[in-house]
Amino acid sequence: MQINASQLYFILEHTPAEQNIMLVGKHGIGKSRILEDFFAGRGEKVVTLFLGQMSDPGDLIGLPHLDEAAGRTDFMLPYWFPKDGKPVVLFLDELNRARPEVLQTVMDLTLNRKLAGKSLPVGSRIISAVNGGNEYQLTELDPALVSRFNIYEFAPSVEDWLNWARSASIDSRIISFISSNPEYLDSDSASLDSENAGLTPSPDRRSWERTSKIISSFEVLDSDLLSLVAGIIGMQAAGLFFRFINDNSLPSAKSLLCEGEKKNLNLLENLSLPKLCLVNESLFHFIEGASWTSDKSLEKSRIAENLEAYFDFITEKLPKEVSAHFISLCSAKKTPETLNFITENRPSLYRKLLASVSDL
């Protein structure tokens, strides 16, 4: 069963704690992030164990020691085992990279919620993640172990990531690039140079996040920065990304909304329709991301005023398709934060949008 991010949230919400979940998918697609965010929002602790890094069962169940009073050998609790009696979400990452002897320990854990005779607190959950594909070095899982999980192939959509990227304040240039080139969000391992397979950087959701943290402090993406970014997402993706940003020469969302100078609007008249649509989208990404709210020098009223001035300009000066595209972006489903921003801070613009919809 293949699921996207919203379906995963539904599954996490409605699966009983005593039923185990297994997520199958590529690396770097956000499995652990979604789990941590979801359960943190419910006040539940997530304990992540990388089973592929464990050399023997003792790394999971703890080390044996002599209980002299009882005259027997017992196991010391591992560092992660909850001592407060509160349930935990145990995330077993890299399950199919674990050594066979570690997997034998997992058998009892998934069936009885016990490790070396010690029970997890009532209400604890067990969720595992495995990689699927011939490009990974994997351990074959015992069918008896697999049968103890509800299994889902996790394949988050590009729109899932774009929605997350806006809320996480990922650099708007990356969001615009992925919106236009969704095939570069996740790499196709089959396309890698066979001589350097496994050593060639390639784009995925993690690498784009790392790229964002680096380029966010650079207004201009130059050749020196290209070399740096190529080591994160690969030369092919980096080259296309830099050409996309530099060749478009688009006015930034910040210049249009925060500076609001007439010269910035005049730049729009020489752009093609696809580029104008990118400008529209960049404005919505900017407001949706809400990173600007931490800058006390930026006022909501000024941004709202400039957004209305932008809409007036494209309505009066540019082809009708540009304003129609702008209106199509105003959706409670697609851009809820922007729609709320307009209704709360610029009712006059909201009325214009409603009037324009009726004229389309």
pLDDT per position as a tens digit, 305-358: 999 999 999 999 999 999 999 999 887 777 888 899 999 999 999 999 988 876
pLDDT in tens, 151-177: 999 888 888 888 888 778 888 889 888
pLDDT at residue number 192: 42
Residue 200 has pLDDT above 70, yes or no: yes
The answer to whether residue 69 scores a pLDDT higher than 80 is: no
Averaged pLDDT for residues 9-29: 89
- Cα-based distances in Å from 154 to 51, 129, 242: 19, 10, 30
Closest CA to 117 of 159, 162, 72: 72
Token pair listed for 36: 């941590």
Q: What is the pTM of this model?
A: 0.63
Per-residue pLDDT tens for 220-267?
Answer: 888 889 999 999 999 888 988 998 888 766 777 878 888 777 777 888
Q: Kindly indicate the confidence band of residue 195, based on its pLDDT and cuts at 50, 70 and 90.
A: very low
DSSP for 283-346 reads HHHHHHH-GGGG-TT--HHHHHHHHHHHHHHHHHHS-HHHHHHHHHH--TTT-HHHHHHHHHH-
Distance CA 187, CA 182 (A): 10
93, 30 in Cβ contact below 8 A?
no
